[in-house]
A and B are shown apart, each in its own frame.
Chain A
């Protein structure tokens, strides 16, 4: 990327022509900023003996594809162990992908070596979950936020400090606090420092891995609003990784639901939250405790899943969700369901042999539950 002055010129041009294409290459007009194709990440499981033979593979991410347009945010939701964090880390090349491609404005990042990656690193920045462990306690805030500027020589050495102060002000911190250490800040303020650091290089894509889940409830909204404002101001695309479905609904116009290393359903906010078709997405949505419930009284009908997520070392054959699914038939064990478009809705895909709308599914699930309960009582 060019120095900041030129970059802002490019920004002006894009807003002037008001096209979605920010690339310098006119051939890529309308193409997404990031395109992930069949991304796979396996971690080898080694034997505990002397030979450390590879005895299995943790299939953390197993063939996922998605794309993010410039300035857009995609929410990646799922439970712990579904591979959402691994996905984020592979995209920043903190992990090497096992196979698949990561196209950033047409360049495949997957095969690049560390050195070759360097110019692309400033385009993809990360915000980490834990603001306590992701900041070096022995470095001042000025050094933490300024290091990326120095490493990539984005601004001349004597301008680093003033740029750092600008960044601190941008994220709502006092710019005079650049010489303080992370332990002098609260959790919410630390997360703002992390955001300033990610912002320092004017990235095109930010990977936010559970950016607010470690914060107090009253602080979460502050940070979410800040992220949204910055995203709009600088036209940054965000991959928002979170398990909190309500926050994802608020932040992301597009959502992908992951289960055991696969994307099981993806679509825009409306399709996922009001018209989910995959049984797992439906169960996930019905599990969110709802404050409104206390106001109307009684309990909401909900899909109760049995058991826990299976191990990604030996995932179930066929559909990975079948072991917990109330609709599972023989075909689910034999054939892996492909991601198919749902109805006429553009961009809404679900991977299920028996995909059906939310209302009828929740009705059936409740009925199946009642029958199972009755059978258990009878026996």
Chain B
């Protein structure tokens, strides 16, 4: 391995490996500016997993594309700061970005069939990725490295399968191959964008297991993007909940999922049927639909769908965007909500949820 785990070089100061600071991504369109991501800040330490949860259009994928530098530079306005291992990425030249991408930062995509080249053998695609960042390596070495990676991600008979084309792989194997491709240069930061959404649950369990194993071996930082709270619960150390292009709740996985302090997170958790709850009770959905990023709501982005705006004095929710700050309990658990005693209000509401309306207006 070219960068053993011990060699986790911390940049100046004691900064985490990935720091995203006040990231804003806008897409100018014919209809106006799409505010895809607004003022997003987070950081990930080496060896840790950050889960980003959100619905489609919440900005979770866009923000990660910006970090990996895969956005369309001509059509995107980015501001803020993204530092990977101390290097500022925003404004970096494409040449330097290329050197970084794949080597330091890699990405696993949702749809492995679309992400793998259909005309090239899997082994050749892995070798190409290795050669791009190891110009001194011979083709033989690159090929062997590719086969070794296929073996590492649990593909049986890797030297034979390396000669296969992607369509000859099953869904789970393709995802394994893509993970192998992402890891071929031992990146220290891995973005996994819905890596198991297209897979069946038994295969999903295999892939999640594999990612955890690999993280233990390589000590890399992982940003895991998904809409599935169950997957987050299994994978992440910390969770960041996004809504309408903003972070609305951040904290440890345990804190956010067991003591949510933002009505949106609470609503998500309440709307999912669980293994232990009484199946005859109705679900408690979040009314309404996700906001338009073209015309984001004023004030709190969640207020048009929130059941608790009545608990906040005046029309604060409609007027003012709440800050992402700790609740009254303090600590590292941040939430963006005007409710002062959010946890109390939300747990009371959970207790009497059967009295609340079943399927609100749409």
Question: What is the minimal beta-carbon distance from A362 to any residue of chain B, in angstroms?
Answer: 13
Question: If A273-B275, A292-B276, A308-B173 touch, does A284 touch B202 (CB 8 Å cutoff)?
Answer: yes
Q: Give CA–CA (A289, B290) in the complex, Å.
A: 25
Which parts of B188-243 form the interface with A (CB within 8 Å)?
Answer: 200-206, 208-209, 227-234
Of A188, A247, A294, the most chain B CB neighbours within 10 A belong to A294
> Is there a chain A Cβ closer than 8 Å to B284's Cβ?
yes
User: Do A221 and B271 touch across chains, with their CB atoms under 8 A apart?
Assistant: yes
Contact with B230, one of A218, A288, A302 (Cβ below 8 angstroms) = A288
Q: Give CA–CA (A132, B360) in the complex, Å.
A: 22
User: Do B268 and A218 touch across chains, with their CB atoms under 8 A apart?
Assistant: yes
> What is the chain A residue whose CB lies nearest that of B259?
A295
Interface segment out of the listed A109-117, A224-232, A330-338, A346-354: A224-232
Q: What string of 1s and 0s marks CB contacts (under 8 Å) between A134-145 and chain B?
A: 000000000000
Which parts of A233-267 form the interface with B (CB within 8 Å)?
Answer: 243, 245-247, 249-250
> Is there a chain A Cβ closer than 8 Å to B171's Cβ?
yes
> Is there a chain B Cβ closer than 8 Å to A80's Cβ?
yes
Question: What is the minimal beta-carbon distance from A272 to any residue of chain B, in angstroms?
Answer: 12
User: Do B267 and A189 touch across chains, with their CB atoms under 8 A apart?
Assistant: no
Q: What string of 1s and 0s marks CB contacts (under 8 Å) between A303-315 and chain B?
A: 0110111000000
Question: What is the minimal beta-carbon distance from A365 to any residue of chain B, in angstroms?
Answer: 12
Of B204, B253, B269, B275, the most chain A CB neighbours within 10 A belong to B275
Q: Give CA–CA (A218, B302) in the complex, Å.
A: 12
> What is the chain A residue whose CB lies nearest that of B258?
A295
Contact with A222, one of B228, B273, B274, B360 (Cβ below 8 angstroms) = B360
> Is there a chain B Cβ closer than 8 Å to A220's Cβ?
yes
Q: Is the interface of A mostly helix, strand, loop or mixed?
A: helix
Instruction: Give chain B residues whose Cβ lies under 8 Å from the Cβ of A14.
Output: none
User: Do B359 and A291 touch across chains, with their CB atoms under 8 A apart?
Assistant: no
User: Do B201 and A295 touch across chains, with their CB atoms under 8 A apart?
Assistant: no
> Is there a chain B Cβ closer than 8 Å to A149's Cβ?
no
> Is there a chain B Cβ closer than 8 Å to A269's Cβ?
yes
Contact with B279, one of A243, A250, A286 (Cβ below 8 angstroms) = A250
Contact with B272, one of A221, A294, A309 (Cβ below 8 angstroms) = A221
Question: If A246-B275, A290-B230 touch, does A172 touch B361 (CB 8 Å cutoff)?
Answer: yes
Instruction: Give chain B residues whose Cβ lies under 8 Å from the Cβ of A246.
Output: 272-275
Question: What is the minimal beta-carbon distance from B246 to any residue of chain A, in angstroms?
Answer: 16
> Is there a chain A Cβ closer than 8 Å to B170's Cβ?
yes
> Is there a chain B Cβ closer than 8 Å to A27's Cβ?
no
User: Do A216 and B227 touch across chains, with their CB atoms under 8 A apart?
Assistant: yes
Contact with B201, one of A218, A219, A284 (Cβ below 8 angstroms) = A284
Contact with B55, one of A217, A243, A304, A307 (Cβ below 8 angstroms) = A217
Instruction: Give chain B residues whose Cβ lies under 8 Å from the Cβ of A294.
Output: 232-234, 253-254, 257-258
User: Do A243 and B283 touch across chains, with their CB atoms under 8 A apart?
Assistant: no
> What is the chain B residue whose CB lies nearest that of A299?
B234
> Is there a chain B Cβ closer than 8 Å to A19's Cβ?
no
Q: Give CA–CA (A226, B282) in the complex, Å.
A: 10
> Is there a chain B Cβ closer than 8 Å to A91's Cβ?
no
Q: Give CA–CA (A188, B57) in the complex, Å.
A: 14
User: Do B204 and A287 touch across chains, with their CB atoms under 8 A apart?
Assistant: yes
Question: What is the minimal beta-carbon distance from B33 to any residue of chain A, in angstroms?
Answer: 21
Instruction: Give chain A residues whose Cβ lies under 8 Å from the Cβ of B267.
Output: 218
Instruction: Give chain A residues whose Cβ lies under 8 Å from the Cβ of B305.
Output: 218
Q: Give CA–CA (A246, B230) in the complex, Å.
A: 11
Question: What is the minimal beta-carbon distance from A71 to any residue of chain B, in angstroms?
Answer: 15
Which parts of A173-223 form the interface with B (CB within 8 Å)?
Answer: 173, 186, 188-189, 192, 216-222
Of A222, A226, A290, the most chain B CB neighbours within 10 A belong to A222
> Is there a chain B Cβ closer than 8 Å to A283's Cβ?
yes
Q: Give CA–CA (A289, B229) in the complex, Å.
A: 8
> Is there a chain A Cβ closer than 8 Å to B285's Cβ?
yes
> Is there a chain A Cβ closer than 8 Å to B362's Cβ?
yes
Question: If A246-B274, A250-B283 touch, does A289 touch B208 (CB 8 Å cutoff)?
Answer: yes
Instruction: Give chain B residues whose Cβ lies under 8 Å from the Cβ of A288.
Output: 201, 230, 275
User: Do B230 and A219 touch across chains, with their CB atoms under 8 A apart?
Assistant: no
User: Do A287 and B202 touch across chains, with their CB atoms under 8 A apart?
Assistant: yes
> Is there a chain A Cβ closer than 8 Å to B286's Cβ?
yes
> Is there a chain A Cβ closer than 8 Å to B319's Cβ?
no
User: Do B286 and A221 touch across chains, with their CB atoms under 8 A apart?
Assistant: yes
Question: What is the minimal beta-carbon distance from B221 to any residue of chain A, in angstroms?
Answer: 19
Instruction: Give chain A residues whose Cβ lies under 8 Å from the Cβ of B209.
Output: 304
Question: What is the minimal beta-carbon distance from B38 to any residue of chain A, in angstroms?
Answer: 20
Q: Give CA–CA (A307, B271) in the complex, Å.
A: 33
Instruction: Give chain B residues whose Cβ lies under 8 Å from the Cβ of A18.
Output: none
> Is there a chain B Cβ closer than 8 Å to A293's Cβ?
yes
User: Do B56 and A308 touch across chains, with their CB atoms under 8 A apart?
Assistant: no
Question: What is the minimal beta-carbon distance from B24 to any residue of chain A, in angstroms?
Answer: 24
Instruction: Give chain A residues whose Cβ lies under 8 Å from the Cβ of B258.
Output: 294-295
> Is there a chain B Cβ closer than 8 Å to A79's Cβ?
yes
Q: Give CA–CA (A299, B233) in the complex, Å.
A: 10
Question: If A246-B272, A269-B279, A289-B228 touch, does A192 touch B362 (CB 8 Å cutoff)?
Answer: yes
Question: What is the minimal beta-carbon distance from A142 to any residue of chain B, in angstroms?
Answer: 18
Question: What is the minimal beta-carbon distance from A169 to any residue of chain B, in angstroms?
Answer: 12
Given A80-B200, A305-B202, 19 additional A-B pairs, CB 8 A: A172-B359, A186-B362, A216-B227, A218-B55, A222-B359, A224-B285, A246-B274, A249-B275, A291-B233, A291-B257, A291-B274, A293-B234, A294-B233, A295-B257, A295-B258, A299-B234, A304-B209, A307-B172, A308-B172
List 26 contacting pairs A-B, 8 Å CB cutoff, sorted by A: A80-B171, A80-B200, A172-B362, A186-B362, A188-B289, A217-B55, A218-B286, A221-B272, A222-B362, A224-B285, A228-B282, A246-B274, A246-B275, A247-B273, A269-B279, A284-B201, A284-B202, A287-B202, A287-B204, A287-B205, A289-B205, A290-B233, A290-B275, A294-B258, A305-B205, A308-B171
What 5 A-B pairs are tightest by C-beta distance, nearest first?
A289-B230, A221-B285, A294-B233, A250-B273, A221-B271
Interface residues of B (CB under 8 A from A): 55-56, 170-173, 200-206, 208-209, 227-234, 253-254, 257-258, 267-269, 271-276, 279, 282-287, 289-290, 305, 358-362
